[in-house]
Structure 1
């Protein structure tokens, strides 16, 4: 049986959010899933590069790299979501393992 006293507090979701905004992938590193952060970074670079090849010649900087910015925004949201779920589970003393059930809802059997 785990409770708040015996398990260490997870990273603060706002700290993870700030880190993810400042440096792409760093929020995932703080959460202990650096591979996921590296995957987001990889796809950010690839889609940013692809967008530069298909964008109109008169497009601005954001327009030329829109694919990379899209993945950047998704990585920020993903890191914050993971941190928020972990923090809420810790705060409420959730005893279930982190099996990836969305929203803390157990699947029907």
Structure 2
């Protein structure tokens, strides 16, 4: 029988830091590349659409509100799934 070492998932706080730096990269760090690319492209797309329909005197956050909203959801999603993966791994392998 071969001795295979299981690779632990990244710590959830590290994934959170990655997700804050770039939208969608937290999901990629969680081995969810399709989900990460979806979040990244949706952030850009909704930011663009919001900027075209926002009032001319809107603030920066108001002008790109759609993009900021998806960015915030992507951060929460990346942390949540990192925490779930972390708990499942260490519950199944307590000595890892």
TM-score (norm 1): 0.77
- Separation in structure 2 between the aligned mates of residue 8 and residue 42 of structure 1, nearest angstrom: 29
Q: Which residue of 1 aligns with 2:59?
A: 60
- Separation in structure 1 between the aligned mates of residue 24 and residue 50 of structure 2, nearest angstrom: 20
- Separation in structure 1 between the aligned mates of residue 7 and residue 37 of structure 2, nearest angstrom: 26
Pairwise CA RMSD of aligned residues?
A: 1.6
Uncovered stretches (5+) of structure 1, i.e. residues with no partner: 95-109
- Mapped contact 2:46–2:67 kept (Cα < 8 A): yes
TM-superposed CA distance for 1:83, in Å, is: 0.4
TM-superposed CA distance for 1:90, in Å, is: 1.0
Structure 1 runs of 4+ aligned residues shifted over 4 Å read none
- Mapped contact 2:16–2:78 kept (Cα < 8 A): yes
Secondary structure in 1 matching 2:58: coil
Paired residues for 1:56-95 under 5 Å: 56-93=55-92
Uncovered stretches (5+) of structure 2, i.e. residues with no partner: none
Q: Which residue of 2 aligns with 1:44?
A: 43
Name the one with the larger helix percent.
2
- Separation in structure 2 between the aligned mates of residue 86 and residue 6 of structure 1, nearest angstrom: 17
Q: Which residue of 2 aligns with 1:30?
A: 29
